[in-house]
A and B are shown apart, each in its own frame.
Chain A
């Protein structure tokens, strides 16, 4: 046979199959938008009675009273709890995670040990949150109860430690959250550091920089977008984290500035109350879910924008 100089004509059946495949993939890709859209519509629709009843005042009110006849709902304590617990979690997890990431990205340890540690950390990111919650109940709460009471006795004049510790509360929840987001913070920071071209480090060392000068003035700035994106993703995770928080935070709907007092987050409020909720309470919880969705999606989009803008700049 001589070399074919013309392309083979596709049969009508083949063309139909091609078109069907393209169509099926388009529909499936569109399904991702479909789910996102439907989710928003359904949650807004179910929340509508509460949105009509309370309006934006829902965000600023501290009342949460499901008693029939005098139902009032406001989500300020839970919004406060969501923001505070995830901020504290970030304050603990980011320095530790970044330090660990840098350490693992340098050649302090033999290649094999580093590989094992990196795999271990990636594995830990996959452990279900309900297990962190279980461990938190039996290990973290008893330890932090003593620590909390010591803080209250000695530093009780600071409003943050203004109440005695009863066990479950904001502080243990934030600590467990920080442990939960440590793996993802570490592994995303480390992979952004590892993606920095080695030339940059070599150039810095060649100019006389010490190892850590190279790390802080060259490597970390070069990997900044990835690290910042990872931190925001971790923040999104912490805000939406449900099971561990529900099991540890104490589920109190009172607004308290003391970290030792029980609190609540939007996610744990929903997990804790939705099962027994009826009527207006259901739509109020859906309203809370809408607020939570808005907060996490905002953080997520911000993360995507940071990563993208820096990628464009580097091109």
Chain B
């Protein structure tokens, strides 16, 4: 045994408990990740297994069966979801995009731009059921639209608006300032600069953001239960109650009939696939652009 403390052994003895503690923390953090992933993977596989059994031609072409009856499909809910989303897009995309252009091109860091950003974040945090109640009181109760795809679309538009403003502003801000200066310097007007130069170069990121927000809105249930309501039949027009996949899951989850429950799982799987496909496409798209 060496009698004089040599630096390396000294270092080792005071390091030992520290490195042990480090190992323990690594294991603990890894365990957190595993525990966090278990329910999420469980949910994904469970929905896939339960939902896939009903994936047949009838699912996409037929109406839901009467309570207790087997077979049928959820075609009307599929169509209804698309109708509600169309209305939501028609309202939220133009307003959201123009609002984002104001923030990134004209307002920038001014007093009003900061107030608008604050409102956007606040609106983004308002629970989705509240936007449903708001549209109910504004359009349904007042008799302006009644229970309808129109009202449901408006409720979803309230939810999509802040998301679109935020993602579009981020996308616009990534456009290099030089491009704007070059365009204005070459004699283009503000309009020509924004529409001909800035928007096209931010377009891929904006489209990606809008697509993701649509996929997310497709699964929103709370805003629809008092606005679009539900319907077991085909939707004739935008002014009457329509079925949607999300509300179908909610309604059929708690009925005691197995065929209805199967439809709920199939609808859940369709919603998850929509989110999955749009997310994967968006990631691939962004990756290819950045290469």
Contacts and interface: CB of A to CB of B under 8 A. Distances in A.
Contacts of A309: none
A76 interface: no
B129 A267 contact: yes
A38 B138 CA distance: 9
Interface string B32-56: 1101110110111011001000000
Interface stretch (A19-27, A59-67, A146-154): A19-27
Interface stretch (A156-164, A179-187, A194-202, A254-262): A179-187
B268 A8 contact: no
B2 to A, nearest CB: 23
Given A21-B190, A134-B265, A275-B225, A108 B130 contact: no
Interface in B212-259: 212, 215-216, 218-222, 225-226, 246, 249-250, 253-254
A102 B29 contact: yes
Contact of B272 (A95, A127, A213): A127
Interface in A220-278: 233, 236, 239-243, 247, 267, 270-271, 274-275
Contacts of B113: 29
A303 B124 CA distance: 12
B276 A123 contact: yes
**Of B101, B105, B191, most A-chain CB atoms within 10 Å:** B191
Given A18-B191, A134-B265, A96 B35 contact: yes
B79 interface: no
Contacts of B61: none
11 contacts: A8-B187, A21-B194, A26-B106, A28-B95, A42-B134, A103-B33, A119-B283, A131-B268, A131-B272, A137-B253, A213-B22
Interface in A275-315: 275, 285-286, 289, 292-293, 296-297, 299-301, 303-304
Nearest to A132: B43
Contacts of B67: none
| Residue with the highest number of chain A CB atoms closer than 10 Å, among B127, B218, B226 | B127
B30 A108 contact: yes
B122 A247 contact: no
Nearest to A16: B191
A91 interface: no
A179 B102 contact: no
A108 B103 CA distance: 40
Contacts of A14: 189, 191-192
| Interface residues on chain B, size class | 35 or more
B222 to A, nearest CB: 4
A289 B141 CA distance: 16
B134 A210 contact: no
A67 to B, nearest CB: 23
Interface stretch (B70-78, B82-90, B158-166): B158-166
Given A10-B189, A28-B94, 10 more contacts: A15-B189, A25-B99, A28-B98, A35-B158, A96-B36, A123-B276, A128-B221, A132-B43, A210-B19, A212-B21
A242 B138 contact: no
B201 interface: no
B88 to A, nearest CB: 13
A207 to B, nearest CB: 14
Interface centre among A33, A102, A128, A233 (most CB of B within 10 A): A128
B138 A36 contact: no
Given A17-B191, A139-B42, A240 B122 contact: no
A39 B134 contact: yes
Contact of A247 (B21, B120, B216, B254): B254
A31 interface: yes
A200 to B, nearest CB: 18
Q: Closest 7 interchain pairs by CB? A: A128-B219, A240-B127, A99-B32, A300-B125, A28-B98, A25-B102, A8-B187
B107 interface: yes
Nearest to A32: B119
A28 B99 CA distance: 5
A102 B112 CA distance: 37
A135 B41 CA distance: 12
A131 B254 contact: no
Contact of B279 (A30, A123, A135, A271): A123
Given A36-B123, A134-B268, A139-B46, A29 B102 contact: yes
| Max count, chain B CB within 10 A of own CB: residue among A42, A131, A304 | A131
